[in-house]
């Protein structure tokens, strides 16, 4: 991994952390109208997703690597289905617009993690599970394994070249990022519940 790719991934991580800060600063939970709150939340996450995707590490022409699947999975886990659909549609539209050989896989790594995040939220709500650091880390690892699984669908001549290039950040850095941002969002959610 060269310096420019490391800087791109560092910038992506900073944008992920800004999700928690911005969401808390805007106090979106205080909006009483759920449809309006979902719309604004989805647009906020979508705009952050577009920012993440515009600072991607380009592995090869049309092959972009960033933290979009971490962002959309956390959106599903903390903000719900409607914001995830809005943000996901924005991110998939940009990825299809960029084109290239990785367009299909680039879209799948938005759709699948977003669905997993929503499913995880549903399960944790109905089983009354607390999202501690271990569960958030396990969630992050599951998301990364799904993203790597999607990468197996790339053209054969690129598949293992791309996986070898991204395996270290995907396995060692991204689950920790997911856990840290998840802990920030959980803490904010718990604080808002206590205040209300």
pLDDT digits (tens, 9 = 90+) for 79-132: 999 999 999 999 999 999 988 888 899 999 999 999 999 999 999 999 998 899
Confidence class for position 65, pLDDT limits 50, 70, 90: confident
Count Cα neighbours of 115 within 13 Å in the Cβ-side half-sphere.
8
CB contact set of 26 (below 8 Å; sequence gap of 6+): 40, 44
Tell whether the model's pLDDT for residue 1 goes beyond 70: no
């Amino acid at each position: 991994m060269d310096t420019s790719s490391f800087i791109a991934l560092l910038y992506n991580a900073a944008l992920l952390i800004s999700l928690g800060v911005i969401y808390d600063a805007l106090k979106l939970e205080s909006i009483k109208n759920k449809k309006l709150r979902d719309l604004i939340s989805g647009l906020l996450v979508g705009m952050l997703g577009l920012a993440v995707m515009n600072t991607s590490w380009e592995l090869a022409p049309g092959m972009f690597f960033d933290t979009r699947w971490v962002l959309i999975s956390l959106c599903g886990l903390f903000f719900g289905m409607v914001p995830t659909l809005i943000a996901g549609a924005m991110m998939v539209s940009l990825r299809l617009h960029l084109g290239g050989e990785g367009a299909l896989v680039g879209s799948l790594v938005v759709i699948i993690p977003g669905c997993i995040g929503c499913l995880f939220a549903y399960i944790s709500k109905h089983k009354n599970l607390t999202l501690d650091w271990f569960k958030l880390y396990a969630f992050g690892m599951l998301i990364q394994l799904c993203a790597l699984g999607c990468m197996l669908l790339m053209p054969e001549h690129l598949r293992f070249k791309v996986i070898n290039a991204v395996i270290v950040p995907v396995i060692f850095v991204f689950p920790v990022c997911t856990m840290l941002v998840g802990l920030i969002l959980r803490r904010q959610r718990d604080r808002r519940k206590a205040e209300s």
